[in-house]
Amino acid sequence: MNAPSKKKRILVVEDAHSLRRDIVEMLGFEGYDVVDAENGLKGVQRAKETLPDLIICDIMMPVMDGYEVLTELRKDRTTEMIPFIFLTARADRSEQRAGMQSGADDYVTKPFTASELLGSVRARLERQEKVAAIADTRIDEIRNNIITALPHEMRTPLNVVLGFSTLLMTDAGTLDAARVEDMAAHIHAAGTRLYRLIENYITYAYTEILLSDGNRRQLLRAGFLFAPKSSIEAYTMECARHNERESDVQYDLEDAPRLAIHEEYFKKIIEEVMDNACKFSPRGTPIHVRAMLQNHQYLIEIVDEGRGMSQEQVSQIGAYMQFERHFHEQQGSGLGLVIAKRLAELHGGRLNIQSTSGQGTTVQIVLLLESSNGKP
């Protein structure tokens, strides 16, 4: 058999010396770089030291069993994504289910043939390579969108500020009050746009940090909001007024006692979703804002009749994504929906998007009600 084109490192954690030796020799013959450990504790140590591409681990071992090994490795960001194959002599389905539910990628039952184990190894490594390739593609897309969107988004308002401020400095003596007021209004609007852009980048970075910090996440969830109906009306109308869409907004709102979210984050979610609806639907078409109680959750829907998105575009929503920018001139960094989505998820909720290209978009925000004991 041919060795893999790129040498992969595999960690084998098995307390039975003869079996461990056989697996190490088998994998080494296939061209893999193999390291081994005789118990779970040493397996965790070797995994963190060597950062293998895949781990094969027995379940029943002294010092630390396979489940404990997997749990420990999933806690560490450097090892949490390493593909993990369990080895066990137990063949019952409940044992297999327990292994898979604990986060294992595959489950090989002893006794096994060389082809069975190697097949599992190849399948896991190939899948990991595909995931890595998708991640690389995604990073390239984000990088390209940053290159395309960020310079434009920062340069446009800065040009307005610099242009009008230069006119004020050079021609102040000849300008009447109305002209000065008009220039000041343009400078203020451009400054507001630039401020929001910077604020969104900071908010996005903050939410990404919170996703990996459990303690900060708990602090984030400490706030709550009473009677959200009036807040929805205020924030959506403020956004509609900014976009000159006040007459387009239609309400159908049920109130809720209180939500498990601080008003600042609630406002950010509503503003970003509403701003998206205003930007990407024609003036004069309705924007429906609905809210209802359902199964201890509060469902908010903002529906527009704009150009919509394809299913592929919906699935790709993320930071810095602006679809078909070369066809549709638009403001914004592409951060709005992903910030709203992150904030909803960090509070135990979710954000669902249903859209049809050329017909419109429905964004559903699902948030948890706070119970009387202060917990969602």
Share of the chain above pLDDT 90, in %: 44
Q: Are 57 and 70 in contact (CB under 8 A)?
A: yes
**pLDDT greater than 80 at residue 145:** no
The stretch 159-176 carries a mean pLDDT of 88
Q: Between these two residues, 12 and 333, which has the higher pLDDT value?
A: 12
- Give just the sign of the alpha carbon dihedral 84, 87, 90, 91: positive
Decide: 63 and 41 in contact? Cβ < 8 Å: yes
Lowest-pLDDT choice from 87-101, 138-152, 347-361: 138-152
Q: How many CB atoms lie within 10 A of CB 324?
A: 12
Specify the CATH number of the domain 139-213: 1.10.287.130
- pLDDT tens per residue across span 308-347: 877 766 665 554 444 344 333 444 445 778 888 888 988 8
Task: Identify the pLDDT of residue 26.
Answer: 95
pLDDT in tens, 242-264: 899 999 999 999 999 889 898 88
Structure letter (DSSP) for residue 247: G
Residue 304, CA distances (Å) to 186, 250, 315, 369 in order: 28, 11, 19, 26
Check for a shared fold between 9-112 and 218-368: no
Can you give the pLDDT at residue 290?
97
Confidence class of residue 355 from pLDDT cuts 50, 70 and 90? confident
Within a 10 A sphere around the Cβ of 138, how many other Cβ atoms? 14
Instruction: Give the per-residue pLDDT at 16.
Output: 94
Average predicted confidence (pLDDT) for the chain: 82
State the Cα–Cα distance between residues 190 and 318, nearest whole angstrom: 25
> So what's the pLDDT on residue 320?
42
pLDDT of residue 41: 95
At the topology level of CATH, where does 218-368 sit?
Heat Shock Protein 90 (3.30.565)
Q: In whole angstroms, what separates CA 9 from the centre of its chain? A: 29
Strand pairing of 287-294 and 54-58? unpaired
pLDDT at residue 29 greater than cutoff 90: yes
Mean pLDDT over 14-43 rounds to 95
pLDDT at 333: 41
Tens of pLDDT along 264-302?
889 999 999 999 899 889 999 999 999 999 988 999 999
Q: What's the pLDDT at 114?
A: 92
**pTM for this prediction:** 0.52
Q: Could you state, in order of their start, the residue ranges of all structural domains in the chain? A: 9-112, 139-213, 218-368
Position 334 scores a pLDDT of: 55
Indicate the fold that domain 9-112 takes in CATH: Rossmann fold (3.40.50)
Question: Residue 372: what pLDDT?
Answer: 43
Q: Name the more confident of 139 and 27.
A: 27
The least confident of 112-121, 148-157, 277-286 is 148-157
